[in-house]
Every structure is written in structure tokens, then in C-alpha cells.
Amino acid sequence: MRSQKNIACLIVDDEAMARDIISAHLSKIEAIDVIASCSHAMEAFQVISNHKIDLVFLDINMPDISGISFAKSINKNIKIIFTTAYRDYAVEGFELQAVDYLLKPISFIRLLKAVNTYFDVYATQENALMSTTELHAFMFVRSDRRMIKIDFEAIIYIESFSDYIKIHLANETIVTRETISAIEAKLPSKQFIRIHRSYIIAIKQITSFTNEHVVIQDQALTISRSYKKSVLELLEQF
């Protein structure tokens, strides 16, 4: 059964060794859940009809039904990363708006780059939805060469240090190379507020505040002059 925390992936390749290599690489990425590994397109069609698939690692040069034909026939919401031993199909692959095009033999680093590209696209789509409905309850961040899912409800506050940030959760701290402004854009505005160029806080975690500080779990975080007016106006509404 698919975990709600993971992105559901399907591997389609007529070469067993190629499937095993991709599966082994994907097993190192926490946010990925391989639903099935198929040797031909007809088997893959059956998997897609029975499961919600988010991402397909798809060989192009397969018997009976090629990867290109398969990609053209499935739901356009399912993203494709093409895998092949031939460069000749690259143009046609990208015309199908593939996330990436991987040449065999596929290294873990190259596959990870393709997965990160997928998450960048995925995150952008999620942000667009959150800006209008704010119904989504999580985001993905890149940390220690993995994409990690973070539930908004688990965030206490976010702290910026130059070119990386720390996301403070109840039981751990996630470090990611990201700007605080980029992270701020991913957060639902009704649950979080920026109080300083170095701090974003979860509103529900506030225990008290003054004109100069917000206290979260006995830690006083400074409200900067540039954010003071908007912060105090918001907090005084509660």
C-alpha cells in the first residue's frame, strides 16, 4: 500500500538489470515509493489503472509498445523521466514535456538530479495551489542529498544562516541550502509569519509576545523594525 508521505513511482524497462539499477538508486531517496517495476508497457498500463502513479521512469526502446507511445497514451498529470541507451530520442522525449532524459548507464548522482528536477516542478505546482486555497499540509526540502517531506503542523520556527536555513521541528532540526524567502513562499500565510529577515515562526507555537520579541518554547525571537508593524497588527487580532 502506498505511503501518503511518498511520491509513487513506476519503473518500466524491458531489461531486468536496468530496472534493478533504477530501483536500487530510488531506494536511497526517502520521499520515493516504487509501486511496481514492469518489463513491458502492457504490464505498466495495468499498474496505472490500479494505482495512482506520480512519476514513471520509462525506457524508450521497448518491444511492441515503445516508451514514446506509452507516454503519449497515459494521463498527462503523470510525469515522465525517460531512460535509454540512445541519444537519438532526446528531442522527441522533451517534446513530450518529460521531466528529464537519462542515458544509460545511469549513475545515482544523475538520477538524483532528475528526481530533484521533478520535485522542483512538483513544488512549484503545489505552491500555486497553496496560494489560492492553502489546503496542502506539507512541503519537500532537499537535505543531505534527499528530498524530505515536512508537515507544516510540525514546524516550530525557521531560522536563516546566510545560504542555508534550519527548520526547527519538535524532535529534530532539518538543515537545507535554501533562502528563507524561497521557503516563505512555500508556507501557508495563515499559519506562519515572518518576524525578521532571519526568522519565520508558526503562529500557533507562540506563547507570548511584546513589541520587541515573540516567545516560542521559552525562546525569545526578535521582531525586526521592518516587520514590526505587520507582525503586531496580525498578532493583536488574535
Alpha carbons within 13 angstroms on the beta-carbon side of residue 226 total 5
Q: How does the average pLDDT of the chain come out, rounded?
A: 84
Report if pTM > 0.75: no
Nearest CA to 83 among 57, 114, 56?
A: 57
Reported confidence tier of residue 2, pLDDT bands at 50, 70, 90: very low
CB < 8 Å & 24+ apart, contacts of 143-147? 143/174, 143/175, 143/176, 144/175, 145/112, 146/28, 146/29, 146/30, 146/31, 147/29, 147/30, 147/31, 147/32, 147/115, 147/116, 147/119
Lookup: cell for 107:
549513475
Cell, residue 173 = 532540526
Least confident of 71-80, 124-133, 223-232: 124-133
pLDDT at 1 over 60: no
